Amino acid sequence: MRRPSGFIALVFVVLAPAFAQLPEEVARKFAEAEKRIVRLPPTAFPELPGQVVRALQRRGCTIPQPALATSPHNVLKGEFAKPGQTDWAVLCSVKGVSRILVFWNGSEKDPAAIASSEDRNYLQGISETAIGYSRGISAVGKDVIERHHRAYGGPTPPPIDHQGIDDAFLEKASVTWYFHGGRWMKLTGSD
């Protein structure tokens, strides 16, 4: 059945505002979700050495929490520089931008800063109606790094003798940061 051209114009006039509002509504929901990101103070992590807590406080850091976390996340203890050395990695958020800070041997002096990104870039639907923050870091060893490389390809890892930091957009994908030869390498994470 052929519809009159006036009918098509009327349908467009009626539906166009609904489509125009959709992106604005989605943007509003994401802006609200960004305001609801839970960020814990460094003092919420009693395992952190005192000098690291004070360094984080001086920088104005808070630690953003994945929306579905049931306990504090995004603070790691591991061997990120070499075997036998205890380092601390913290996802530090300042003014809506997070980076991973690595405190070598637990010292507050000259932490490495990697993987800076706006917190809002890690918002996603976590249920049919909710949007939540979904960035998480974890320590990974040789077996995980090599398994990810075999499964997904990417840069060839160097000889692995200490841990890397898996930086994940939870339930989506990740990259692994590995310190080698005095610099951070971006290796394949999960897909």
Torsion of CA 43, 37, 115, 124, to 10 degrees: 150
Confidence check: pLDDT of 97 > 50: yes
Q: Are residues 2 and 79 in the same domain?
A: no
> Is the pLDDT assigned to residue 13 strictly greater than 50?
no
Name the 3-class secondary structure at 177: strand
Same domain, 23 and 45: no
Nearest to 102 by CA among 116, 87, 115: 87
DSSP states of 78-146 as a string? E-SSSTT--EEEEEEEETTEEEEEEEGGG--SS-EEEEEEEGGGGEEESSSS-EEE-EEEEEE-HHHHH
Same domain for 174 and 153, yes or no, is: yes
Q: Within this chain, do residues 31 and 120 fall inside the same structural domain, yes or no?
A: no
The pLDDT value recorded for residue 11 is 36
**9 and 62: one domain?**
no
The per-residue pLDDT for 15 is 41
Q: Which pLDDT score is estimated for 108?
A: 93
- Whether the per-residue pLDDT at 9 is higher than 60: the answer is no
Is the per-residue pLDDT at 116 higher than 80? yes
- The whole model's pTM is what? 0.85
Name the domain count of the chain: 2
Same domain as 98, residue 163:
yes
Going by their DSSP bridges, the two strands 173-180 and 183-188 should be labelled as antiparallel
**57 & 141 share domain:** yes
47 and 140 both lie in a single domain: yes
- Statement to judge: residues 29 and 107 lie in one domain: no
Cβ-in-10-Å burial (0-12, 13-18, 19+) of 91 comes to buried
pLDDT averaged over the chain?
89
Residues 173 and 92 in one domain: yes
Q: Do 49 and 82 have their domain in common?
A: yes
User: What's the length of the chain?
Assistant: 191
Token pair listed for 48 = 């952190």
Q: Domain containing 92: what range?
A: 36-188
Per-residue burial over 114-125, b if 16 or more Cβ lie within 10 Å, else e, is bbeeebeebbbe
Q: Are residues 64 and 8 in the same domain?
A: no
Question: Which carries the bigger pLDDT value, residue 166 or residue 3?
Answer: 166
pLDDT, tens only, 40-54: 999 999 999 999 999
pLDDT tens-digit readout, 163-184: 999 999 999 999 999 999 999 9
Q: In this predicted structure, what is the pLDDT of residue 26?
A: 82
